[in-house]
A and B are shown apart, each in its own frame.
Chain A
Amino acid sequence: MTTFLQLIVVGISTGSVFGIVGVALVLVYRTTGIVNFAQGVFAVLGGMFTFELRPHMPLLAAIVLAVLLAAVLGTLAALVAVGFRGRTTHLASLVITVGIALLAEAILLATVGEVPRSYAGVWRHAWDVGGVLIQPQYVLIAGVALAATILLTLFLRGTVVGQALIASADSARAAELVGLNVRAVAVIAFAVAGGLCALGGALLAPTVPVVYNADLALTINGFAAAVFGGLTSIRLALLGGYALGIVEQLVVGYIDPQYNLTIALVVMLVLIGWRSRRELVA
Chain B
Amino acid sequence: MRLTLIAGAAVFACWLPFQLSQGQLGLYDRMGLYTLVAIGLTLLMGFAGQVSLGQGAFFLIGAYTSALLTVGLDPDDRLLDPDAGIDPVLAVVVAPVVTAAIAAVIGVPLLRLRGHYLAFATLAFHLIMSSLLFAQDRFTGGQYGVTVTKPLEVGGRTINGATHAAVAWALVAVALVLSANLVRSRAGRALQTIAVSELAAAGTGIPVATFKLRLFVFAAALAGLAGGLFTFYTQFVGPEDFGIVLSLQFVLMVAVGGLGNVYGAVVGTVAILYLEHEVRELGTRESLLGWDLPAQAPSVLSLGIFGLILIAVMLFFPRGLLPAVVDGARAARRRAPWTK
Q: Give the residue of B135, B315, B337 whose beta carbon is less than 8 angstroms from that of A84.
A: B315
Chain B residue contacts of A98, Cβ below 8 A: 53, 248, 251, 310
Q: Give the residue of A94, A95, A113, A227 whose beta carbon is less than 8 angstroms from that of B296.
A: A113
Docked Cα-Cα span, A103 to B310, in Å, equals 10
Task: Judge whether B2 is part of the interface by a CB distance below 8 angstroms.
Answer: no
Task: Judge whether B255 is part of the interface by a CB distance below 8 angstroms.
Answer: yes
Contact check, A106 vs B307: say whether CB atoms are below 8 A apart.
Answer: yes
Docked Cα-Cα span, A84 to B312, in Å, equals 12
As a 0/1 sequence over residues 72 to 112 of chain A, the CB contacts with chain B under 8 angstroms (1 = contact) are 00000000100110111111111110111111111101100
Q: Which residue of A lies closest to B318 (CB)?
A: A92
Chain B residue contacts of A272, Cβ below 8 A: 113, 117, 120-121
Contact check, B117 vs A91: say whether CB atoms are below 8 A apart.
Answer: no
As a 0/1 sequence over residues 180 to 205 of chain A, the CB contacts with chain B under 8 angstroms (1 = contact) are 00000000000000000000000000
Q: Which of B64-72, B96-104, B213-221, B297-305 is the interface stretch?
A: B297-305
Contact check, B339 vs A89: say whether CB atoms are below 8 A apart.
Answer: yes
Contact check, A106 vs B304: say whether CB atoms are below 8 A apart.
Answer: yes
Docked Cα-Cα span, A103 to B312, in Å, equals 12
Docked Cα-Cα span, A282 to B208, in Å, equals 12
Contact check, B314 vs A96: say whether CB atoms are below 8 A apart.
Answer: yes
A interface SS class: helix
Contact check, B310 vs A282: say whether CB atoms are below 8 A apart.
Answer: no
Docked Cα-Cα span, A112 to B209, in Å, equals 47
Once A35-B116, A109-B299 are accepted as A-B contacts, the answer to whether A280 and B109 lie under 8 Å apart by CB is yes
Docked Cα-Cα span, A269 to B124, in Å, equals 7
Contact check, A96 vs B315: say whether CB atoms are below 8 A apart.
Answer: yes
Most chain B Cβ neighbours within 10 Å, of A35, A83, A89: A89
Q: Which residue of B lies closest to A217 (CB)?
A: B127
Docked Cα-Cα span, A261 to B294, in Å, equals 30
Chain B residue contacts of A91, Cβ below 8 A: 51, 115-116, 119, 337-338
Chain B residue contacts of A262, Cβ below 8 A: 127-128, 131-132
Interface residues of B in 88-112 (CB under 8 A from A): 109, 112
Task: Judge whether A49 is part of the interface by a CB distance below 8 angstroms.
Answer: no
Docked Cα-Cα span, A99 to B315, in Å, equals 11
Contact check, B112 vs A102: say whether CB atoms are below 8 A apart.
Answer: no
Contact check, A92 vs B306: say whether CB atoms are below 8 A apart.
Answer: no
Contact check, A87 vs B340: say whether CB atoms are below 8 A apart.
Answer: yes
Query: How close is A25's CB to chain B, nearest CB, in angstroms?
Result: 10
Contact check, B116 vs A94: say whether CB atoms are below 8 A apart.
Answer: yes
Most chain A Cβ neighbours within 10 Å, of B53, B308, B315: B315
Contact check, B294 vs A113: say whether CB atoms are below 8 A apart.
Answer: yes
Q: Give the residue of B51, B121, B135 whose beta carbon is less than 8 angstroms from that of A94.
A: B51
Task: Judge whether A266 is part of the interface by a CB distance below 8 angstroms.
Answer: yes
Q: Give the residue of B127, B135, B296 whose beta carbon is less than 8 angstroms from that of A109.
A: B296
Task: Judge whether B201 is part of the interface by a CB distance below 8 angstroms.
Answer: no
Docked Cα-Cα span, A262 to B128, in Å, equals 6
Q: Give the residue of A95, A104, A114, A259 whose beta carbon is less than 8 angstroms from that of B131.
A: A259
Q: 16 A-B residue contacts at CB 8 Å?
A: A87-B340, A88-B314, A89-B340, A91-B115, A95-B51, A99-B307, A99-B308, A106-B303, A106-B307, A110-B294, A113-B294, A262-B127, A272-B121, A276-B117, A280-B113, A282-B112
Give me 20 other A-B pairs in contact (C-beta within 8 A), A268-B124, A272-B117 excluded. A80-B315, A95-B251, A95-B314, A99-B311, A100-B307, A102-B303, A103-B307, A105-B303, A216-B244, A220-B120, A258-B136, A259-B131, A261-B131, A262-B128, A265-B124, A265-B127, A268-B120, A273-B109, A279-B114, A282-B209
| A-B pairs with lowest CB-CB distance, top 7 | A103-B307, A102-B307, A106-B304, A99-B310, A92-B338, A99-B311, A106-B303
A interface residues, Cβ below 8 angstroms from B: 35, 80, 83-84, 86-96, 98-107, 109-110, 113-114, 216, 220, 223, 227, 258-259, 261-262, 265-266, 268-269, 272-273, 275-276, 279-280, 282
B interface residues, Cβ below 8 angstroms from A: 51, 53, 109, 112-117, 119-121, 123-124, 127-128, 131-132, 135-136, 209, 244-245, 248, 251, 255, 294, 296-297, 299-301, 303-304, 306-311, 314-315, 318, 337-340
